[in-house]
Chains A and B, each alone.
Chain A
Amino acid sequence: MLEALVKKIKSFFLLFVLIFSYLPLVYGFVFSFNSTSRKEAISGITLTLSSEGYVSLINKGIFQPLVNSFLIATIVSIFVGLLALITCFALWWRHNSFNENFVSTTSQVIIINPDIITAIALSILFSTFFGVLKVTEEGFFRLVISYSVIALPYSIFIMLPRSKKFSRSLFEASLDLGYGLASSWFRTYLRHMLPAIFASTFICFIFTFDDFILARIISNASTLGTLLYEQKQLRTWILALGTLLLLFSLTIFWFQEYLAHSKQKQKNGLLNSKHLVNDKLLLLLFFCLILVAWIVFFTLLGVGFSRMDTLALKHELTTQ
């Protein structure tokens, strides 16, 4: 009797939390298809279906910020991934309590510090060592460094537990089989760390795309975050961006769950060798995905620029 009641309370609580955290996202999904007024603001109360929100993603002036964000995110994720990988490998190779304590405390300081305080401290640092940023400069590399400062601790906290699980005998077996030091590092350690590297890349992208405080305080660069911050009214393309990101994350979860499921089946011997998911194939797929993403991105860019040109031409014709 009591147990059944507790069970009911549990499931009700889980359902309540899920509804609480997903109702706004569902609202965003539905209202991203709302039509906009002339000033492109929506009231958010009445709903008339249209795809203007997604269309305006292409032809609005969000291309330059998007390119900026994408470039910054790429550079930051490569830099942070390398640095975190080297640090984790060094910590794995020699267990030194001082080094480990230093790494964990310095990264915890950054994680616990609010963004705005880190931003002010970094802006003081940059202005004392490299001079005050001029109005005409963009401050691109200052931004890259400050995003790396923010994202590096998270990346280390993702990679360190996985790096600790790496077995030393695997590395030595590779050496005994005649591979060199570097090639066995690539074949064993890097391969073991690949999921953590993907996760850290994902985190870097999220941080760079989401943040506006650092971009506003440290540099004059316009990124996606600052563009979102500057909007004073509710616009459909904001909701559309959120929806697209939601769908993207859901697909990644589904893909990962599918992979784990198929690996489990492999272990149980339920799949024959034809259905085995090849690691190399997976890597190839990943790189193809990135390539396709870049191609789509640049075609969209081209479409956007051509549209802007035609708009400018029209404007010229009408003024003449």
Chain B
Amino acid sequence: MKKLKPSTLPAKRSKQSLFSYFDLSFLWLAPYFVFAIFFTILSLFLLFTNSLSASSHSLKLVSNSTVLWILIRSIWTSILASIIAVVVALLYLWFTLQITSKIIRNFLIFSLTLPFFIFTISKIWALKGLFLQMFSPDTLNSYWFMILGMVYLNLPLASIPIYGVLRDIPRGLIEASFNLGYGPVPTFFKVVVPYSLKAIFKSFAVVFLTSSMFILVSEKLLPNGEHFTMIANIIYEFTHSFNKYDFSQITLLVVLTLLVLILVCSLCQFLVSVFYSLKNHRSLKLLFGGKHARSVS
């Protein structure tokens, strides 16, 4: 059956004059357009121009070697944390969606996202208090506790984009994979992961950017986080000074940090997608193995 185009529907009606009000759809969108152009595009544009107007004085902060080390530290810790968070969320949701009972399934998914709705600071205090029961404060001043805190705080955030895709995965696709002789583990790597790769990238990007720009981890979570400062702490401390030179320094740092983070994030995604596209390539199928490798060659 031919689907009617939505735009043709109102013209057939007798109440055409009434519909003509709705035809000016750009008028309905106008508030959002104004809001988005003014507060999203213009504000980011001003941030970029402000960073470019920096003088030689403002290069001081960016060219500082300790700032560079702090940037590198916040990048590697948050990459590790976001990989762990995405993998845990993916596995959890995949196992949960295989449960047949609807109530248990809903309960499990809800209980993963529930901590998202509680105050971040009270969650941090609770986590810190719990670990202070088990360990001494000196052992908690370490990278593993930082990464654990990031994973704990970002797990609900990582699960939201993945859940949207995994919920809609066609049952037939998985059944076909089982019928072709794959077990549950190869099915996961050959069907589920490639199917939801886009959502995985999205959740990785969100978790990576938020956790690398997290103030609270080194300030509140660690008992003494002076040696574990993140790049966001430096930015946050400098924003309180209303000195014009300081502010241009900080905007330059913010823009450079943002560019570096986006670059690192897209590099990770590029590597994974290259790996997956190469894996499907004919010549490399022999290398990675697979059931039908011989027949392909």
Contact = CB atoms under 8 A, between A and B. Distances in A.
B198 interface: no
Contacts of A93: 6, 22, 25, 28
Q: Is the interface of A mostly helix, strand, loop or mixed?
A: helix
Contact of A25 (B39, B110, B126, B210): B126
B88 A114 contact: no
A83 B21 CA distance: 18
A228 B91 CA distance: 34
Interface in A18-53: 18, 20-25, 27-28, 31, 44-45
B92 A17 contact: yes
B129 A44 contact: yes
Given A116-B236, A239-B122, A102 B132 contact: no
Q: Which of A99, A115, A242, A246 has the most CB of B within 10 A?
A: A242
User: How extensive is the interface on chain B, given as a class?
Assistant: 35 or more
A66 interface: no
A241 interface: yes
B153 to A, nearest CB: 10
B65 to A, nearest CB: 23
Contact of A245 (B118, B133, B251): B118
Nearest to B88: A17
A187 interface: no
A58 B108 CA distance: 34
Interface stretch (A205-213, A291-299, A308-316): A205-213
B173 interface: no
Contacts of B235: 116, 120
Contact of A99 (B9, B29, B46, B205): B29
A271 interface: no
A124 B213 contact: no
Given A116-B215, A122-B39, A86 B115 contact: no
Interface in A112-164: 112-125, 128, 132, 145, 148-149, 152
Contact of B32 (A22, A83, A257): A83
A228 B216 CA distance: 12
B72 interface: no
Interface in B2-48: 6-7, 9, 13, 15, 18, 21-23, 25-26, 28-29, 31-33, 35-36, 38-44, 46-47
B184 interface: yes
Q: Is the interface of B mostly helix, strand, loop or mixed?
A: helix
A134 to B, nearest CB: 11
A14 B108 contact: yes
User: How extensive is the interface on chain A, given as a class?
Assistant: 35 or more
B81 interface: no
Interface string A224-261: 01001101001000110110011001100100010000
12 contacts: A24-B126, A83-B35, A93-B28, A112-B205, A113-B209, A114-B210, A120-B47, A120-B251, A234-B129, A238-B121, A242-B122, A245-B117
Interface of A: 2, 6, 10, 13-14, 17-18, 20-25, 27-28, 31, 44-45, 83, 86-87, 89-91, 93-96, 99, 102-103, 106-107, 109-125, 128, 132, 145, 148-149, 152, 168, 172, 175, 181, 202, 206, 209-210, 212-213, 216-217, 225, 228-229, 231, 234, 238-239, 241-242, 245-246, 249-250, 253, 257
Interface of B: 6-7, 9, 13, 15, 18, 21-23, 25-26, 28-29, 31-33, 35-36, 38-44, 46-47, 50, 88, 91-92, 95-96, 98, 103, 106-108, 110-112, 114-123, 125-130, 132-133, 152, 155, 183-185, 205-206, 209-210, 212-213, 215, 232, 235-236, 239-240, 242, 250-251, 254, 258
